[in-house]
Amino acid sequence: MKESNIDNLLKSIFSDDENFDIRNEFEQKLIDYNISKTKALLLLNIDKDVFEQIINGTAKQPNLIHVVKIAEFLEINIDKFIKVVLNNQSKENIGTIDKARKATFLLKNFDVKTLTKLGFFDKNYETNDLVSRVLTFFGYSSIQEFEDELIEPLYSRTKRSFSDKMKDFWIKSAYQSFRIIDNPNEYDRNKLKGLIIKIKPYSQDVKEGLLTVCKALYNIGITVIFQDYLSTTQVRGGTFIVKGKPCIVLTDFNKKYPTIWFTLLHELHHVLFDFDLIETNSFHLTGDDDLFLIEEKADSFARDFFMSEEKFNYIKKYINNPYLVSKFAEQNEIHVSIVYSFFTWYQDKLYGKNYHAAFKEHYPNYKEALNKLNPISWDNQSIKETSKKIKSILEIK
C-alpha cells in the first residue's frame, strides 16, 4: 500500500464516512454460504476470541493477516476494510494511532531538535504539545487543515535534510504572513523606480527611516516583513510573489544595521528585474541559491546604490577621521555605519584585508530600526496575530 493511502486512512479515523457494520456483513455471508460461524472461523484459521476483538475494536494490535482474511471472506476491498477496522477501534487504540500520526507529521515537516534549540519548542514538550505549538503558530486548528492549506506550497524535496526542513519552516512562515497581510494595493513598477531613488536619506534615521520606507513600499503593492535569521538555512532574505504581488523578507543576518538596508535594496533589485523568473518559481532566496548571476547583479546594484567602488577609493584615505567620514556620509545621504560597512567589504574583497572587528562604535543597534515593524520571531505565539499587527502598522498613513 502506498504511503499516501496509509496517510489518508489515518486521516479518516475520526470521520463518519464509514457506516459499514462488520458483524452484520459477516453474519450475512454465513447465511449466503450456509455455514456456521464456528466452521467459517475454522476455515479462515482465526480464533473466535481474536475475531471478536477485531470486530469490537478491542484488539491492541490487530493482526494484519487476520484482517486481510476477513476482508477476503467479506469480499471487500482491503483499503476500505482497513479503514472500517480503524474506525471501529477503541478510544485507547485510536489514541495511539493518532499519536503516531502526529509524530510522523512532526518528523516529516519539522527539524524538532533545531527548533527546540531556538526556543520555538519547549524541551519538555510532549508530542501533543509540539503539534499544538505548530498549529497555533501557523494559525490552524488541525493537522488536516495545515496540510490542506500548506501542502508543499513552495519548497519541496522528496528527501529533505534537517536544514531543508528549517528552510521549509522559514518559507512557510513568511508565505503564511503574506497571505494573512494580503496587501490590497496594486503593484506599480514605475512607482517603485521613482521611490527607490528617494530611499537613501531614510537610512540616516535609525528609529523611523526603515518604517517609513516599508510603508511607502506597501502603498505601491510591495509588502516587506522581517523574520529571524536561521543559521542552518543560510537564507539572508527572500523575494516572494504572492497573488501577483512582490513580497520581501528581510532577516537580522549578522545583526548589523547596514546589512538590513543592503538586503532591502538587493531584494528590490529582484523585484524590478527578476519578477517574471521569481513568479515562475514562487520565490527566490538570497544566500542559498544557485542563480549566481542574478545574485551578483542584485549585490552590485545595492553596493553601487549606497557606496560605489569609486566612492570607496575616495573615503579610504580618511577612514580614520570620524569627522570627515561623517561629512562624507551626510553628503551621500547615508548613515555613517553604511560607510564603514562598505569600506570593510571593499577592503576584504579587493585587498584581502580584514576590518570586520573595526568601527563597531559607529554601528547603531539594529533592533531600534526593527522595533516598530514587529518582526516575526520564533518566540511569537501566532503568525496570524503578528501579521495582523504588521498590516495595521504598514497601513497607518
- pLDDT tens digits for 223-272? 999 999 988 888 899 999 999 999 999 998 899 999 999 999 999 999 99
Could you tell me which residues are beta bridge partners of residue 224? Answer: 248
| CATH for 3-89, options being 1.20.1070, 1.10.10, 1.10.260, 1.10.3470 | 1.10.260
Q: Is pLDDT above 90 for 92?
A: no
Q: How confident is the model at residue 320 (pLDDT cuts 50, 70, 90)?
A: very high
DSSP, collapsed to helix, strand or coil, labels residue 162 as helix
Q: H or E segment at 247?
A: strand 245-251
Residue 6 has a pLDDT of 45
Q: Is pLDDT above 70 for 168?
A: yes
Residue 238 has a pLDDT of 94
Residue 372 has a pLDDT of 86
Residue 151 has a pLDDT of 45
First-to-last C-alpha distance (Å) of the chain: 57
Q: How confident is the model at residue 80 (pLDDT cuts 50, 70, 90)?
A: confident
Q: Which of 9-13, 40-44, 93-97 has the highest mean pLDDT?
A: 40-44
Q: Note whether 261 and 268 are within 8 A (CB).
A: no
Lowest mean pLDDT among 5-9, 167-171, 283-287, 391-395: 5-9
What is 75-135 written as a DSSP string?
T--HHHHHHHHHHTS-HHHHHHHHHHHHHHHHHHH--HHHHHHTTSS-TT--HHHHHHHHH
Mean pLDDT, the chain, rounded, equals 88
Residue 292 has a pLDDT of 60
pLDDT tens digit sequence for 101-151: 899 999 988 999 999 999 999 999 999 999 999 999 999 988 888 887 764
Residue 32 has a pLDDT of 92
Q: Distances from the Cα of 276 to the Cαs of 262, 271, 279, 289, in angstroms?
A: 22, 9, 5, 17
Distance from C-alpha of 113 to C-alpha of 107, rounded to nearest angstrom: 10
Q: Note whether 309 and 299 are within 8 A (CB).
A: no
Predicted TM-score (pTM) of this structure: 0.80
**Helix, strand, coil in percent for the chain, rounding step 5:** 65, 5, 30
pLDDT tens digit sequence for 176-217: 999 999 999 999 999 999 999 999 999 999 999 999 999 999
As a dihedral over the C-alpha atoms of residue 332, residue 333, residue 335, residue 340, rounded to 10 degrees, the angle is -10
Q: Is pLDDT above 70 for 94?
A: yes
Q: Where are the domains of the chain?
A: 3-89, 94-151, 183-306+365-397, 307-364
The 8 Å CB, 24+ separation contacts for 2-11 are 5/79, 9/79, 9/82, 9/83, 9/86, 10/86, 10/97, 10/98, 10/100, 10/101, 11/101, 11/144
Q: Summarize the confidence of residues 330-359 as an average pLDDT.
A: 95
Q: Note whether 286 and 236 are within 8 A (CB).
A: yes
Q: Summarize the confidence of residues 272-290 as an average pLDDT.
A: 86
The one-letter code for the residue type at 279 is E
Q: Summarize the confidence of residues 296-317 as an average pLDDT.
A: 96
